[in-house]
């Protein structure tokens, strides 16, 4: 079946512009995660959506970052007023959300963001 998909695969933007990154999770996965992979910082957790619960935003680096998940499926990560330090690969992952179990996260291919 289809895996996690992300778009665009590459995004080049100018400093100060806003960008939107999209994630389509695996059908039926109710949990969705955003991570960032950057030089010098490794892979960092950003935000987590679980069903209809309030998202865990504890990893968002600043208030310029926000994310939505509409209809419990597609998610959009928005970065406002981009800065050069936002340049990174943004990874999305999805999983089942079975209580009392670890639910393997399946990762998408990522969006490579370059801020000039």
Partner 1 sequence: AQSVSQHNHHVILSEAASLELGCNYSYGGTVNLFWYVQYPGQHLQLLLKYFSGDPLVKGIKGFEAEFIKSKFSFNLRKPSVQWSDTAEYFCAVNPRGAAGNKLTFGGGTRVLVKP
Peptide bond into 8 cis (omega under 30): yes
Q: In 3D, which of 94, 115, 96 has the Cα closest to residue 106?
A: 94
Q: Among 23, 69, 108, 113, which residue sits at the site for partner 1 (rule: CB under 8 A)?
A: 108
Question: Does residue 59 interact with partner 1 by CB under 8 A?
Answer: yes
Q: Among 1, 28, 42, 71, which residue sits at the site for partner 1 (rule: CB under 8 A)?
A: 42
Question: Does residue 7 interact with partner 1 by CB under 8 A?
Answer: no
Q: Where are the beta strands (DSSP E) in 2-97?
A: 5-7, 10-13, 19-24, 31-38, 42-50, 65-69, 75-79, 88-95
Residues 84-103 that bind partner 1 (CB under 8 A): 91, 93, 95, 102-103
Q: What's the closest the beta carbon of residue 59 comes to partner 1, in angstroms? A: 7
Q: What's the closest the beta carbon of residue 8 comes to partner 1, in angstroms? A: 16
Bridge partners for 106 per DSSP: 94
Residues that bind partner 1 (CB under 8 A): 3-4, 31, 33, 35, 42-45, 48, 50, 56, 59, 91, 93, 95, 102-110
């Amino acid at each position: 079946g289809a895996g996690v998909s992300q778009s665009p695969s590459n995004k080049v933007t100018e400093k100060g512009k806003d960008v939107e990154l999209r994630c389509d999770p695996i059908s039926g996965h109710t949990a969705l995660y955003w991570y960032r992979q950057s030089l010098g910082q490794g892979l960092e957790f950003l935000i987590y959506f679980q069903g209809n619960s309030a998202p865990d935003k504890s990893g968002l680096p600043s208030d310029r970052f926000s994310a939505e998940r509409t209809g419990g499926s597609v998610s959009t990560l928005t970065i406002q007023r981009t800065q050069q330090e936002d340049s990174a690969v943004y990874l999305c992952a999805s999983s089942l959300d079975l209580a009392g179990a670890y639910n393997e996260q399946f990762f998408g291919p990522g969006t490579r963001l370059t801020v000039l």
